[in-house]
A and B are shown apart, each in its own frame.
Chain A
Amino acid sequence: MLIGKDMEILEGLPVLYIKSIKSLVVSDLHLGYEGGMIKSGIAIPKANIKSIMETLDKAFDGRKVERLIVVGDIKNDFSSLNVEELNELGSITRALKEKEVLIDLVKGNHDNFIDGYSQSLGIRVHPSVFVLGDYLFAHGDKQLDKTDSPVSTVIIGHEHPSIGIRSKVGTVERFRCFLTGKISYSGRKTELLVLPAMGYFETGSDINLHNKRRVMSPVLRKADVDKMEAIAVGYGMALNFGRIGDLRNVEV
């Protein structure tokens, strides 16, 4: 599904492709998630890295990609960079190196202690924002830092958005979704795009079922979530479900 002329949401995947800068953009991989859970007493077998690799393979298929941009939270543990994370980061970066793809990481709140390994892993780490072409990439856990370069679109992660559709049968179906809308950045109206989480276990928080004030990202809090549109991805499709405000009381 195309957004504007330049951006494309890959059908069914939580991945954005930007043609002009030949980049794939993803968010919230949370590598090493299972390792952290095992430490706190929950024996989760590994599934995250496999699913991410498969998704990336599908995303690369038939496209010219020079760069993978991760808008934060490539790893999971706050307090260290542990062995599981390092192993998984290694296998992803190796695979991308074979494809001759550059990796840019905008630091998220989970990405502590990664700077020391950036060289050996071959990841370019940007501390707060990263501007490429018309686009500004940030994680979205803090207010956006100002830049001098003019930007047309702000792309963030952090929120793990999904929409929940209540059915009359009594179930809630949840789909990861992109959010598109507008915010003012550096005094100008700018497009805002929020990416869904790529991590296998981060199914997301139902934006349309939660109170507006419970939105995590301060960037998103400034934009009116109710006016943003949700584009659900999954099962090989990307479908525009319309404005979040309209989805609040829907029961089908």
Chain B
Amino acid sequence: MAKQKKIVRAGSEGEIPEGVGDLLDSMPADQNSKLAIYNYFVEQQLFAGHIPTNKLILVEVTNDEESGREYIIFHSLFGRRINDAISRAFAASLTEFLDMDIGIMVNDNGFVLIPEEEVKLNEKNLKKIVEEICNVGLPQIIRANLAGTELMKRKFRHVAARSFMILRNYKGHKISVKSQQFNSQLVFKAAEAINPNFPVIKETYREIMDDVMDLPRAGLVMDALKKGEIRIKLVKTPNPSPFSHNMITFGQADAVLMKDRHLHLQRLHKMVMKEIGG
């Protein structure tokens, strides 16, 4: 281990935390695994120049080589439940600023925002977004932007089945998940038209905000960001860095859609016309 540590120190001013080698040595893993873990950190350090920690969210702006699309990767090591919440908040404020849909992917070690077009992002406007989220309040932003997301559709199915608005079994035959999903969306449409606070809808929001996400702790992270206790560092990379590969390939995907549907339809129309040359 000691040998590897020296190499890194020489290469890039040693941002790999002190004592990592000793820590790894104390782990119940064989030598090869330890080496692989260590090298994983070294690669990230050499490639991106920074390693995210509990006090540092690394924001990586990069491009997907195949599709040529921009990825904004947040390395935030707070677990899926917190990342789910703050990713939606960031995506929501970005859609508001930019009038476009934004795809998101989430996992335990961060989240990826995928805007429709390239976004000019710097640390200053990231800071602004953080402040805006803190001012409006995380729960409010998330609640307002859940409508129409995949998460909402899926969770509503669970809640509707639990409250017997759709049935998993009927007259002795099983109802497929696919048709349960279809049926639950019909129920949702009807319930929403009657009252946006229909009990089953209300319960779905509760389940998402309290069980799927960890809003109180996500709030703490946002507060710490605002106060500067957790720093945000933005880097530009030509390709996704080693830490982000997992996120891009295995993250849970969803999208935050523009709220103004009237504007949205107009925008889609314009884009389609451009695409087909009409």
Contacts and interface: CB of A to CB of B under 8 A. Distances in A.
Interface stretch (A44-52, A72-80, A92-100): A44-52
Interface in A36-76: 37, 40-48, 50-51
B276 interface: yes
Contact of A169 (B103, B194, B198): B103
Nearest to A235: B262
Contact of B101 (A45, A171, A237): A171
A42 B183 contact: yes
Contact of A247 (B114, B175, B255, B272): B272
Nearest to A51: B193
A175 B265 contact: yes
B167 A42 contact: yes
B253 interface: yes
B191 A45 contact: yes
A43 B187 contact: yes
Contacts of A44: 165, 186-187, 190
Given A37-B186, A169-B102, A47 B167 contact: no
B178 interface: no
B97 interface: no
| Interface size range on B against A | 35 or more
Nearest to A241: B272
A170 interface: yes
Given A171-B255, A252-B275, A232 B186 contact: no
B268 A165 contact: yes
Nearest to A33: B186
A177 B70 CA distance: 33
A126 to B, nearest CB: 30
A232 B261 CA distance: 14
Contacts of B276: 242, 246-247, 250
Contacts of B135: none
B258 to A, nearest CB: 10
A175 B261 CA distance: 11
A239 interface: yes
A207 to B, nearest CB: 14
A201 interface: yes
Interface in B85-143: 101-103, 114, 116
B132 to A, nearest CB: 22
A218 interface: no
A170 to B, nearest CB: 6
Given A235-B261, A242-B276, A252-B271, A169 B186 contact: no
Contact of B272 (A50, A170, A201, A252): A252
Contact of A171 (B171, B257, B275): B257
Interface in B222-278: 253, 255, 257, 261-262, 264-266, 268-269, 271-273, 275-276, 278
Interface in B178-194: 183, 186-187, 189-191, 193-194
A87 interface: no
Interface string A228-251: 000010111101011000110011
A48 B186 CA distance: 11
Contacts of B262: 235-237
Contacts of A168: 67, 69, 103, 116
A51 B238 CA distance: 51
B272 A250 contact: yes
B255 A169 contact: yes
Contacts of B167: 41-42
Interface in A162-176: 165, 167-171, 173, 175
A200 interface: yes
Given A40-B170, A165-B272, A235-B262, A46 B190 contact: yes
A43 B165 contact: yes
B166 interface: yes
Interface in A182-198: none
A43 B200 CA distance: 12
B116 A47 contact: no
B255 A252 contact: no
A34 interface: yes
Given A34-B190, A51-B193, 6 more contacts: A42-B183, A168-B67, A200-B190, A201-B186, A237-B262, A237-B265
Interface of B: 67, 69, 101-103, 114, 116, 164-167, 170-171, 175, 183, 186-187, 189-191, 193-194, 198, 253, 255, 257, 261-262, 264-266, 268-269, 271-273, 275-276, 278
8 contacts: A42-B167, A44-B190, A45-B198, A169-B102, A171-B101, A235-B261, A247-B276, A251-B275
